[in-house]
Amino acid sequence: MPELPEVETTRRKIEPLLVGRVLTRIEHDAPHKYLGTHRAEGRTVTGIGRRGKYLLLQLAASEAAEDETNAEYSGPLELLVHLGMTGGFRLEHGKHTRVTLHTDEGAVYFNDARKFGKVAVVRPGEYAAFPTLHGMGPEPLSDDFREADFVKLAASAGAVKPWLLSQKPVSGVGNIYADESLWMSRLHPAQTRLRPAEARKLYAAVREVMAAAVAAGGSTLGDGTYQQHDGEAGLFQLRHHAYARNGTPCDRCGVTIEKIVLAQRGTHFCPHCQVLKAR
DNA sequence: CGCCTACCCTGCTCGC
DNA sequence: TGCGAGCAGGGTAGGC
């Protein structure tokens, strides 16, 4: 995480800062980690999209003769950004600045304390080097996310939480919103092979949770994680029912929320509302 | 092929 | 007060 709501909030906020600007130079000291960034230099940002948790900065074709470093390919490009766990954009250089996007109208800084973030420049749609992006499931808030498809896939799925986190049945769900969606649909995180009625509830919960979280500007955690570049915090953390609520009473039944580790992830659920069924 | 696990990385919290 | 251990986890490589 940041997950879809935090990434979408970031997208909306950096759009006016970058669209229409020329990336004059991209500065960082980890060429093995931030790939092909020199290819973006001299190009105009024409738009910023998002796919799951990836930001996709569209870069205009270069005027070939103008920039020799891009002589090998002058068509449009995409600059991918994944925020990882702690990535975000800032308007000032900081201790954790990893990548600086110099533009013709000032710089924008990519900060990432824990260095799980990714930056790469690729040809549009060329995601072979990013298997998760390549195999990304439908956007949860789009018409491409269809209940019937989801129900069918869920019938043969393994443990539902890791399945959601795989980005295959639906994109953009991370640890917070997986726990929230499962709480809402009363499913145990380790439940396998969902019945159609269960899968329909989960489908509705994912849509509802994601829509509400986007509208709230995402979740900003107690330590300030996922705060936006302008210092604004999301508000959805105030409506978490499961995530980081362990030790407190379930908002539905009053039984204490538990925390377990499932597939290496902290996992929060209500042991009374979310019962594992043998299948 | 698909599932599962280990690992990456570093700031912060906690206990002694 | 200082310090080391433990924890946070998305995506990917690699094993089975």
Can you give the distance from the CA of residue A56 to the C1' of nucleotide C3 in angstroms? 42
Residue A237 is predicted with a pLDDT of 79
A175 and A113 together in one domain: no
A188 and A91 together in one domain: no
The torsion defined by the Cα of A69, A42, A107 and A229, in degrees rounded to 10, comes to -100
Instruction: Name the closest residue (CA) to the C1' of nucleotide B12.
Output: A223
- Nearest nt to the CA of A174 via C1' is C10
The range of the structural domain enclosing residue A240 comes to 147-269
- Rounded CA-CA distance A24/A220 in Å is 32
A162 and A237 together in one domain: yes
**How far are the Cα atoms of A97, A151, A163, A173, A210 from residue A178, in angstroms, in the given order?**
29, 17, 10, 6, 10
Residue A1 is predicted with a pLDDT of 65
A29 and A66 together in one domain: yes
A175 and A75 together in one domain: no
A213 and A153 together in one domain: yes
Tokens of A90: 């800032």
Asked if the structure places residue A229 within a domain, the reply is yes
Instruction: Name the closest residue (CA) to the C1' of nucleotide C7.
Output: A266
What's the predicted TM-score (pTM) here?
A: 0.93
A207 and A262 together in one domain: yes
pLDDT digits (tens, 9 = 90+) for A87-121: 999 998 888 999 999 999 999 999 998 889 999 99
| Nucleic strand C within 7 A of Cβ A41 | no
The CATH number that applies at residue A216 is 1.10.8.50
A20 and A54 together in one domain: yes
| Alpha-helix residue ranges (DSSP H) falling in chain A | 4-18, 131-134, 147-155, 160-165, 175-184, 196-215
A8 and A54 together in one domain: yes
The CATH number that applies at residue A109 is 3.20.190.10
A53 contacts: CB under 8 Å, gap ≥ 6 = A2, A3, A4, A7, A82, A83, A167, A171, A172, A174
pLDDT digits (tens, 9 = 90+) for A46-63: 999 999 999 999 999 987
A126 and A163 together in one domain: no
A151 and A260 together in one domain: yes
| Total structural domains within chain A | 2
Residue ranges of chain A whose pLDDT lies below 50: none
A165 and A117 together in one domain: no
Asked if the structure places residue A279 within a domain, the reply is no
